[in-house]
Structure 1
Amino acid sequence: MELAAILLFARLRCCVRRSGFQSVSTFVHHRRGAPPEEPHVRRRHQSLSTTYEANWRRPMAAATPVENVAQIPVSLGFLRLIPTERMRLMARTLDAKGLTDRFAGWMAEQRWADVKQLFEFWIRGTDANGKPNKPDVKVYNYYLQANFLVGASSSELLDFVAQMDGFGVSPNTASFNLVLRAMHQAGETAAAEKLIERMIQIGKDYKEASPDEESYKLIVSLLFSDNRIDSAVNYIDLSMKSGYMLSTNAFIVCVRSCVNNGRLDALLSIMDRFKKMHKSKPFQPPWHVCTYIADVAMQSDKSELAYCAFEFMAKWMAGGETTRPALPSMDEGLVVSALATAGRMYNSKLLDCSWAVLKCSLRQHKAPAPESYLGKIYAHANMGNILKAFSTLHEFEAVYGNSEREDVEGLFSPFYSLNPLVIACTKKGFTTLDAVFEGLYHAHPHIKSIAAVNCIILGCANMWDADRAYRIFNSIDATFGLTPNIDSYNALICAFGKLKKTDDAVKVFDQFVALGVKPNIITYSQLIDAHLIVHDLKAALATINSMIGAGYEPSKEILKKVRRRCIREMDYKSDDQVDSLARKFNIRMGTEVRRDMLFNPQSDKDE
Structure 2
Amino acid sequence: MASQMAILARTRALIKTTTITDSNPFFKTISTFTFLSQEPQLAESTPSEPPSASTPLPPNPASGSPLYNENWRSPIPNTSLTQSLIPLGFLQQSPTSRIQALSQTLDVPSLMNVFADWMTSQRWDDMKQLFEFWIRSLDKTGKPNKPDVNLYNHYLRANLMNNATAGELLDLVAQMEDYAVLPNTASFNLVLKAMYKAKETVAATKLLERMLQTGKESMPDNESYDLVVGMLFLTDMIDASLKYLDVALKSGYMLSTKVFTECVRSCVNNGRLDTLVSIIDRCKAMDQNKALCPSWNLCNYIAEIAMQEDNSKLAYYALEFMAKWIARGEQVRPAVLLSVDEGLALSALGTAGRTYNASLLDASWAILRRSLREKKAPNPESYLAKIYALASLGNLQRAFITLNEFESMYGNPNKEAEQEMFSPFTSLNPLVTACSEKGFETLDSVYFQLENLSRGDPPYKSVAALNCIIVGCANIWDLDRAYQTFEAIGSSFGLTPDIHSYNGLMHAFGRLKKVGYLRTLLPLPHLSLSLSLSLSLSLSLSLSHTHTHTHTPVRARREDPLYDWGIILSFGVLNAPLICLLALNPWVRKLQ
Provide the TM-score with structure 1 as the length reference. 0.70
Match of 1:546 among 568, 575, 582: 575
- What is the aligned counterpart of 2:564 among 535, 552, 570? 535
In terms of mean alpha carbon deviation, does 395-404 or 174-183 score higher? 395-404
What letter is aligned with 2:314? L
Match of 1:259 among 235, 245, 268: 268
2:144: which partner in 1?
A: 132
Q: Residue 409 of structure 1 aligns to which amino acid in structure 2?
A: Q
CA distance in 1, matches of 2:364, 2:165: 49
Distance in 2 (alpha carbons) for counterparts of 1:327 and 1:113: 49
Q: Is the contact made by 1:233 and 1:270 (CA closer than 8 Å) also made in structure 2?
A: no
Indicate the residue corresponding to 1:187 in structure 2: 199
- Residue 200 of structure 1, aligned match among 200, 212, 234: 212
Deviation per CA, 1:367-414: give whole Å up to 9, x if none.
222221111111121222223221211111112224778742121122
- Equivalent residue number for residue 149 of structure 1: 161
Quote how far apart the aligned CAs of 1:237 are. Answer: 4.2
Residue 305 of structure 1 corresponds to 314
Q: Distance in 2 between matches of 1:329 and 1:549?
A: 53
Give 1:454-473 correspondences, 5 Å limit: 454-473=467-486
CA shift in 2, pair 1:536/1:284, >3 Å: closer
| Residue 212 to residue 467, structure 1, CA distance change in 2 (3 Å) | same
Q: Residues 41-440 of structure 1 correspond to what in structure 2 (within 5 A)?
A: 76=88, 78-204=90-216, 206=217, 209-278=218-287, 282-317=291-326, 321-323=330-332, 325-402=335-412, 407-440=417-450
Using the TM superposition, give the Cα deviation of residue 500 of structure 1 relative to its aligned residue in structure 2, in angstroms: 4.4
Deviation at 1:439? 4.5
1:166 positional shift: 2.1
> Identity of aligned pairs, percent?
52
Indicate the SS of the match to 2:573: helix
Residue 488 of structure 2 aligns with which residue? 475
Counterpart residue identity of residue 176, structure 1: F
- SS for the counterpart of 1:534 is helix
Relative to 1, partners in 2 of residues 1:317 and 1:25: Cα closer, same or farther, differing over 3 Å?
A: farther
Distance in 2, Cα, partners of 1:348 & 1:95: 68
Whole-angstrom distance in 2 between the partners of 1:2 and 1:426: 139
1:457, 1:371 → 2: CA distance? 23
Which residue type is aligned with residue 410 of structure 1?
A: E
1:326 partner amino acid: V
Q: Hey, which of these two has a bigger chunk of helix by percent?
A: 1
Q: Secondary structure at the match of 2:338?
A: coil
Return the alpha-carbon distance in structure 2 between the equivalents of residues 534 and 212 of structure 1: 80
One-letter identity of the residue aligned with 2:574: N
Matched, 1:486 2:495: no
- Identify if the C-alpha distance between structure 1 residues 404 and 536 changes in structure 2 by more than 3 Å, giving closer, same or farther: closer
Q: 1:460 to 1:190 in 2, by over 3 A?
A: same
| Structure 1 vs Structure 2 CA RMSD | 4.0
Whose radius of gyration is greater, 1 or 2?
Answer: 2
The answer to whether the 8 Å contact 1:137/1:172 transfers is yes
- Flag the 1:315–1:333 CA change in 2: closer, same or farther, 3 A: same
Q: Distance in 2 between matches of 1:405 and 1:90?
A: 92
CA deviation vs aligned residue, 1:90-136 (integer Å, no higher than 9, x gap): 33344434433333333333332232222222221223443322223
SS in structure 1 of the partner of residue 331 of structure 2: coil
Distance 1:548 1:468, change over 3 A: closer
Q: Which string of whole-angstrom CA distances, capped at 9 and with x for unpartnered residues, describes residues 407-457 of structure 1? A: 421211223211222233333444543444345445685775221111111
- The alignment partner of 2:104 has SS state of helix
Q: Report SS of the residue matched to 2:137.
A: coil
Segment drifting more, 235-244 vs 468-477:
235-244
Amino acid at match of 1:294: A
Equivalent residues of 1:216, 1:239 under 8 A apart: yes
Q: Which runs of 5+ in 2 are unaligned?
A: 1-40, 61-85, 541-559, 580-587
Structure 2 contact 528–575 (Cα < 8 Å) conserved: no
Q: Please state how far the C-alpha of 1:272 moved relative to its aligned partner.
A: 0.6
For residues 75 and 87 of structure 1, do their structure 2 counterparts lie closer, same or farther at Cα, with a shift above 3 Å needed? closer
Give the 3 Å change call, closer, same or farther, for CA 354–2 of structure 1 in structure 2. Answer: farther
Q: How far apart, CA to CA, are the structure 1 residues paired with 2:258 and 2:332?
A: 20
SS of the residue aligned with 1:545? coil
Contact 2:255–2:289 at 8 Å: present in 1 too?
Answer: no
Cα distance in 1 for residues equivalent to 2:338 and 2:392: 31
Residue pair 1:187, 1:222 contacting (<8 A) in 2 also: yes
Shift of 1:329: 0.3
Mean Cα deviation higher: 485-494 or 232-241: 232-241
Alpha-carbon contact 2:149-2:181 (below 8 Å) kept: yes
Cα distance, 1:270 vs structure 2: 0.4
Write the letter of the residue equivalent to 2:144.
P
Answer yes or no: is the 8 Å Cα contact 1:458–1:492 preserved in 2.
Answer: yes
> How far did residue 502 of structure 1 move?
4.7
1:471 deviation in Å? 0.8
Q: Secondary structure at the match of 1:135?
A: coil
Q: Is the partner of 1:338 in helix, strand or coil?
A: helix
Cα distance in 2, alignment partners of residues 359 and 162 from structure 1: 62
| Partners of 1:297 and 1:306 within 8 A in 2 | yes
CA distance in 1, matches of 2:241, 2:376: 44
Q: Which residue of 2 aligns with 1:54?
A: none
Cα drift, residue 160 of structure 1: 1.0
1:141–1:451 distance in 2 versus 1, CA, 3 Å: same
Alpha carbons 1:317, 1:357 under 8 Å: kept: no
Q: Secondary structure at the match of 1:510?
A: coil
- Please give the alpha-carbon distance, in whole angstroms, between the structure 1 residues aligned to 2:533 and 2:497: 14
User: Aligned AA for 2:375?
Assistant: H
Q: State the secondary structure of the residue aligned to 1:394.
A: helix
Cα distance, 1:412–1:540 mapped onto 2, change above 3 Å? closer
Instruction: Tell me the distance in 1 between the aligned counterparts of 2:346 and 2:53.
Output: 92
2:432–2:469 contact (8 Å) kept in structure 1? yes
Residue 243 of structure 1 and its aligned partner are, at CA, apart by 4.0
Using the alignment, how far apart are the partners of 1:253 and 1:27 within structure 2?
Answer: 79
Separation (CA, whole Å) in 2 of partners of 1:331 and 1:532: 52
Matches within 5 A, 1:591-602: none
CA drift at 1:343: 1.4
1:3-56 CA-to-partner distances (Å, cap 9, x unmatched) read 9xx9xx99xxxxxxxxxxxxx999445999xxxxxxxxxxxxxxxxxxxxxxxx
Distance 1:238 1:540, change over 3 A: closer
